[in-house]
């Protein structure tokens, strides 16, 4: 069974608009880690954030922010005032037991239109 669900496949926004990417996860573990990665067309995975299951604080890093809600098993990601350079595929991932074996969602293709 898929453990990470990213329902939106492709999202197009006009530059300077905000975009929110949803991530819903499924796990029976009480200790787990959630990740977001950016994959530009070049293919490499760019680390954005790692959050453990005991830390429900929301986080903001520049134009990026994350909303973690254990009650709904969601770890959503928002890009504020999007820029063309934000165009990429964004993956949400889950690691159970902290073992670094990542289960990835299907990814969100974000297209920022100038």
Interface segment toward other proteins; rule CB under 8 A; list 20-28, 57-65, 69-77, 97-105 = 97-105
Contact flag: residue 43 with other proteins (CB under 8 A): yes
Contact flag: residue 45 with other proteins (CB under 8 A): yes
- Cite the DSSP H helix spans in the chain: none
Among candidates 48, 19, 21, which has minimal Cα distance to 106?
A: 21
Among 16, 50, 63, 70, binds other proteins (CB under 8 A): 50
Residues 6+ apart with CB under 8 A from 29: 53, 96, 97
Strand partners, 72: none
* Binding residues for other proteins (CB under 8 A): 35, 37, 42-45, 47, 50, 91, 95, 98-107, 109
């Amino acid at each position: 069974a898929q453990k990470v669900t990213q329902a939106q496949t492709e999202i197009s926004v006009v530059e300077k608009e905000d975009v929110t990417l949803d991530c819903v996860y499924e796990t029976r573990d009480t200790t787990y880690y959630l990740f977001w990665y950016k994959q530009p067309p070049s293919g490499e995975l760019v680390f954005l954030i790692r959050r453990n299951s005991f830390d429900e604080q929301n986080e903001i890093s520049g134009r990026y922010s994350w909303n973690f809600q254990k009650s709904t098993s969601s770890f959503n990601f928002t890009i504020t005032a999007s820029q063309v350079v934000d165009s990429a595929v964004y993956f949400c991932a889950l690691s159970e037991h902290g073992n670094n074996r990542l289960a990835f969602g299907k990814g969100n293709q974000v297209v920022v239109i100038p």
